Protein backbone atom coordinates (compact mmCIF):
# COMPACT_ATOMS: atom_id res chain seq x y z
CA UNK A 1 0.00 0.00 0.00
CA UNK A 2 1.00 3.55 -0.76
CA UNK A 3 -0.56 6.46 1.05
CA UNK A 4 -2.19 9.33 -0.76
CA UNK A 5 0.82 11.64 -0.46
CA UNK A 6 3.02 9.29 -2.48
CA UNK A 7 0.33 8.93 -5.12
CA UNK A 8 0.25 12.71 -5.39
CA UNK A 9 4.02 12.97 -5.84
CA UNK A 10 3.91 10.34 -8.60
CA UNK A 11 1.03 12.18 -10.24
CA UNK A 12 2.99 15.45 -10.18
CA UNK A 13 5.93 13.68 -11.85
CA UNK A 14 3.66 12.28 -14.57
CA UNK A 15 2.12 15.70 -15.14
CA UNK A 16 5.57 17.18 -15.74
CA UNK A 17 6.47 14.36 -18.11
CA UNK A 18 3.34 15.08 -20.12
CA UNK A 19 4.21 18.79 -20.26
CA UNK A 20 7.65 17.93 -21.70
CA UNK A 21 6.04 15.54 -24.19
CA UNK A 22 3.73 18.34 -25.31
CA UNK A 23 6.65 20.69 -25.93
CA UNK A 24 8.35 18.19 -28.22
CA UNK A 25 5.15 17.51 -30.14
CA UNK A 26 4.56 21.17 -30.84
CA UNK A 27 6.95 21.86 -33.71
CA UNK A 28 8.66 19.96 -36.52
CA UNK A 29 11.63 17.92 -35.36
CA UNK A 30 14.20 20.23 -36.97
CA UNK A 31 12.98 23.10 -34.80
CA UNK A 32 14.51 21.50 -31.70
CA UNK A 33 18.01 22.07 -33.04
CA UNK A 34 17.53 25.69 -31.96
CA UNK A 35 19.18 26.95 -28.80
CA UNK A 36 16.63 27.84 -26.13
CA UNK A 37 18.39 31.23 -25.81
CA UNK A 38 21.51 32.65 -27.47
CA UNK A 39 24.57 30.71 -26.33
CA UNK A 40 22.54 28.25 -24.25
CA UNK A 41 21.71 24.58 -24.72
CA UNK A 42 19.82 23.39 -27.76
CA UNK A 43 16.32 22.06 -27.07
CA UNK A 44 17.28 18.60 -28.37
CA UNK A 45 20.14 18.46 -25.88
CA UNK A 46 17.82 19.29 -22.97
CA UNK A 47 15.43 16.57 -24.16
CA UNK A 48 18.21 13.97 -24.20
CA UNK A 49 19.37 15.21 -20.81
CA UNK A 50 15.93 14.69 -19.26
CA UNK A 51 15.66 11.19 -20.76
CA UNK A 52 19.12 10.20 -19.50
CA UNK A 53 18.37 11.57 -16.01
CA UNK A 54 15.08 9.67 -15.80
CA UNK A 55 16.74 6.52 -17.14
CA UNK A 56 19.20 6.69 -14.24
CA UNK A 57 16.31 6.33 -11.79
CA UNK A 58 16.10 2.62 -12.68
CA UNK A 59 19.47 1.73 -11.09
CA UNK A 60 19.05 4.39 -8.37
CA UNK A 61 15.82 2.74 -7.27
CA UNK A 62 17.35 -0.71 -7.64
CA UNK A 63 14.74 -1.87 -10.14
CA UNK A 64 16.90 -2.39 -13.21
CA UNK A 65 19.73 -1.22 -15.43
CA UNK A 66 19.61 1.91 -17.58
CA UNK A 67 17.69 1.21 -20.78
CA UNK A 68 19.84 3.61 -22.84
CA UNK A 69 23.22 3.84 -21.07
CA UNK A 70 24.77 5.50 -24.14
CA UNK A 71 22.72 8.64 -23.45
CA UNK A 72 24.58 9.29 -20.20
CA UNK A 73 27.83 10.29 -21.90
CA UNK A 74 26.16 12.45 -24.54
CA UNK A 75 23.60 14.22 -22.37
CA UNK A 76 24.89 14.16 -18.78
CA UNK A 77 28.67 13.81 -18.69
CA UNK A 78 29.18 16.06 -21.73
CA UNK A 79 27.89 19.57 -22.33
CA UNK A 80 25.90 20.38 -25.44
CA UNK A 81 27.92 20.20 -28.71
CA UNK A 82 30.74 18.16 -27.13
CA UNK A 83 29.31 15.03 -28.74
CA UNK A 84 28.71 15.62 -32.40
CA UNK A 85 26.27 12.91 -33.48
CA UNK A 86 22.98 13.11 -31.59
CA UNK A 87 20.05 10.69 -31.87
CA UNK A 88 17.11 12.01 -33.88
CA UNK A 89 14.22 13.72 -32.13
CA UNK A 90 12.02 10.83 -33.25
CA UNK A 91 14.35 8.30 -31.60
CA UNK A 92 14.50 10.40 -28.43
CA UNK A 93 10.71 10.62 -28.26
CA UNK A 94 10.51 6.86 -28.35
CA UNK A 95 13.15 6.50 -25.62
CA UNK A 96 11.41 9.14 -23.49
CA UNK A 97 8.13 7.23 -23.68
CA UNK A 98 9.80 3.88 -22.97
CA UNK A 99 11.75 5.11 -19.94
CA UNK A 100 8.71 6.85 -18.46
CA UNK A 101 6.53 3.79 -18.96
CA UNK A 102 9.12 1.52 -17.32
CA UNK A 103 9.34 3.88 -14.34
CA UNK A 104 5.56 4.22 -14.01
CA UNK A 105 5.24 0.44 -14.00
CA UNK A 106 7.81 0.13 -11.21
CA UNK A 107 6.31 3.01 -9.23
CA UNK A 108 2.93 1.29 -9.28
CA UNK A 109 4.50 -1.74 -7.59
CA UNK A 110 6.45 0.14 -4.92
CA UNK A 111 4.89 0.27 -1.46
CA UNK A 112 5.34 2.97 1.16
CA UNK A 113 8.31 1.41 2.94
CA UNK A 114 10.07 1.05 -0.38
CA UNK A 115 9.50 4.73 -1.24
CA UNK A 116 10.86 5.78 2.14
CA UNK A 117 13.91 3.53 1.84
CA UNK A 118 17.44 4.33 0.76
CA UNK A 119 18.30 4.73 -2.90
CA UNK A 120 21.49 3.20 -4.25
CA UNK A 121 23.43 6.48 -4.48
CA UNK A 122 23.41 7.03 -0.72
CA UNK A 123 25.39 4.77 1.63
CA UNK A 124 23.76 2.96 4.54
CA UNK A 125 25.74 5.08 7.00
CA UNK A 126 24.67 8.36 5.37
CA UNK A 127 21.07 7.19 5.18
CA UNK A 128 21.07 6.44 8.88
CA UNK A 129 22.20 10.01 9.54
CA UNK A 130 19.53 11.48 7.25
CA UNK A 131 16.59 9.14 6.52
CA UNK A 132 14.97 11.76 4.29
CA UNK A 133 17.52 10.81 1.61
CA UNK A 134 15.07 8.25 0.29
CA UNK A 135 13.50 7.43 -3.08
CA UNK A 136 10.57 9.78 -2.52
CA UNK A 137 12.94 12.71 -2.06
CA UNK A 138 14.64 11.76 -5.32
CA UNK A 139 11.34 11.74 -7.22
CA UNK A 140 10.30 15.11 -5.73
CA UNK A 141 13.67 16.51 -6.77
CA UNK A 142 13.45 15.04 -10.26
CA UNK A 143 9.99 16.50 -10.74
CA UNK A 144 11.42 19.92 -9.99
CA UNK A 145 14.38 19.17 -12.28
CA UNK A 146 11.99 18.48 -15.16
CA UNK A 147 10.31 21.79 -14.49
CA UNK A 148 13.63 23.64 -14.24
CA UNK A 149 14.43 22.71 -17.83
CA UNK A 150 10.81 23.13 -18.91
CA UNK A 151 11.14 26.77 -17.89
CA UNK A 152 14.10 27.01 -20.27
CA UNK A 153 12.37 25.07 -23.04
CA UNK A 154 9.51 27.57 -22.83
CA UNK A 155 11.89 30.06 -24.46
CA UNK A 156 11.86 28.20 -27.79
CA UNK A 157 8.39 29.57 -28.45
CA UNK A 158 8.78 32.56 -30.77
CA UNK A 159 8.11 35.88 -29.08
CA UNK A 160 5.06 37.51 -30.74
| Residue ranges in contact with a copy of itself by CB under 8 A | 3-9, 11-12, 16, 36-40, 116, 132, 134, 136-137, 140-141, 143-152, 154-155, 159
Q: How far is the CB of 58 from a copy of itself (least distance, A)?
A: 21
Q: How far is the CB of 154 from a copy of itself (least distance, A)?
A: 8
Q: Cβ 145 to a copy of itself, closest distance in Å? A: 7
Minimum gap (Å) between residue 70 Cβ and a copy of itself: 26
Nearer to a copy of itself, 91 or 154 (CB): 154
The DSSP-derived string for 4-44 is HHHHHHHHHHHHHHHHHHHHHTTS-GGGGGSBSSTTS-BHH
CA distances from 49 to 4, 44, 53, 124, 129 (A): 30, 9, 6, 28, 31
Q: Which is nearer to a copy of itself, 24 or 68 (CB)?
A: 24
Q: Residue 4 or 30: which CB sits closer to a copy of itself?
A: 4
3-state secondary structure 112-151: HHHHCCECCCCCHHHHHHCCCCEHHHHHHHHHHHHHHHHH
Amino acid sequence: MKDQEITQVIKAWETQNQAITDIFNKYEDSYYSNEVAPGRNRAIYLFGHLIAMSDLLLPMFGVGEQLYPELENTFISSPDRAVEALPSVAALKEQWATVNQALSDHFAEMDRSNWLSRHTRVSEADFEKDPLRNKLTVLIGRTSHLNYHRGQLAFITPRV
